[in-house]
Amino acid sequence: DAGITQSPRHKVTETGTPVTLRCHQTENHRYMYWYRQDPGHGLRLIHYSYGVKDTDKGEVSDGYSVSRSKTEDFLLTLESATSSQTSVYFCAISESTGGSANTQYFGPGTRLLVL
């Protein structure tokens, strides 16, 4: 299994509070991704990073920001959490974006409940 951890694994918060989720990898992979998974929608890309301090938006980026100051860490921040952001959040990593090296490996996920 790829060395990917996420913290926290579970979090309950209140509407309007800031929340930061952390993804940590030990594989030295260049690419890191944040997805959310909701019933009826499948996995949807929020933001991704293609290197230290290099990030870009995905399909559902509104209300989220990211930062990557080190190769191994990719942070997802909800500046002011809303109930619609209740979801399971997965981090993924890949070595490259070409060929089979683009295979993405997923972390264990964070379950976030916004009350």
Q: Is 103 in the site for other proteins (CB under 8 A)?
A: yes
Q: Is 109 in the site for other proteins (CB under 8 A)?
A: yes
Contact pattern from residue 2 through residue 41 relative to other proteins, giving x for each residue in contact according to CB under 8 A and a dash for the rest:
-----------------------------x--------xx
Cα–Cα separations (whole angstroms), residue 45 to 20, 38, 51, 92: 17, 12, 17, 10
Gyration radius of the chain's alpha carbons:
13
**# chain residues binding other proteins, by CB under 8 A:** 29
The identity of residue 22, as a single letter, is: R
Among residues 34, 107, 112, 114, the one that binds other proteins under rule CB under 8 A: 107
